[in-house]
């Protein structure tokens, strides 16, 4: 088995995968072993671009997958630190939304008025406050 590396892979199915890859030979066929493959999708919005990450195979607990090399259209090694960090963060905490870097905090320009707790307290205070127009 050769040395592992991070790669972006385009399969004949059209899927693009990001994974830690280890090339290997099985019965004189070249295969690639994928460790924790994910699909990364660029999403553009009004407030910038984001990368959506999801597992390549969502309904399995397996970490390793073997693909014959004839099912690969293109494979490229990447040393993009940003992509590698996003990948590693996702693998360590796949559904931890708190670990998102550069999280955007809403402000009044985005339509933010108040958080739920502050709004609840204000409404309760307004409801409890005696109305000066009431007859005693």
CATH at residue 48: 2.30.30.100
The yes-or-no verdict on residue 97 having pLDDT over 90 is no
> Is there a domain that residue 97 lies in?
yes
* Mean pLDDT of the 64-90 span: 93
b (16+ CB within 10 A) / e for 66-83? ebeeeebeebeeeeeeeb
Total structural domains within the chain: 1
Per the listing, tokens 């969502």 go with 58
**85 three-state secondary structure:** helix
Mean pLDDT of the chain: 84
The reply to whether the predicted model has a pTM over 0.75 is no
The yes-or-no verdict on residue 131 having pLDDT over 70 is no
* Mean pLDDT of the 95-121 span: 71
Q: What's the pLDDT band for 136 if we cut at 50, 70, 90? A: very low
CA distance between the termini of the chain: 88
> Is there a domain that residue 136 lies in?
no
* Mean pLDDT of the 84-99 span: 78
> Is there a domain that residue 133 lies in?
no
- pLDDT tens string 20-61: 999 988 888 889 999 999 999 988 878 788 888 999 998 888
Count of H helices and E strands in the chain? 2, 6
**43 close to 49: Cβ distance less than 8 angstroms:** yes
> Is there a domain that residue 73 lies in?
yes
* Mean pLDDT of the 106-130 span: 82
Q: Residue 123: which H helix or E strand, with range?
A: helix 116-128
Q: Range of 107's domain? A: 5-128
């Amino acid at each position: 088995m050769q040395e592992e590396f991070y790669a972006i892979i385009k399969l004949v199915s059209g899927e693009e995968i990001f994974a830690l890859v280890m090339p290997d030979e099985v019965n004189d066929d070249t295969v690639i072993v994928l460790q924790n493959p994910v699909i990364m999708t660029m999403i553009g919005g009004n407030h910038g671009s984001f990368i959506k990450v999801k597992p390549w195979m969502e309904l399995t607990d397996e970490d390793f997958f073997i693909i014959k090399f004839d099912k690969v259209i293109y494979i490229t090694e990447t040393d993009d630190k940003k992509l590698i960090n996003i990948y590693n963060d996702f693998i360590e905490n796949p559904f931890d939304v708190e670990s998102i870097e550069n999280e955007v905090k809403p402000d009044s320009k985005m339509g933010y008025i108040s958080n739920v707790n502050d709004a609840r307290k204000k409404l309760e205070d307004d409801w409890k406050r005696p109305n000066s127009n009431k007859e005693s």
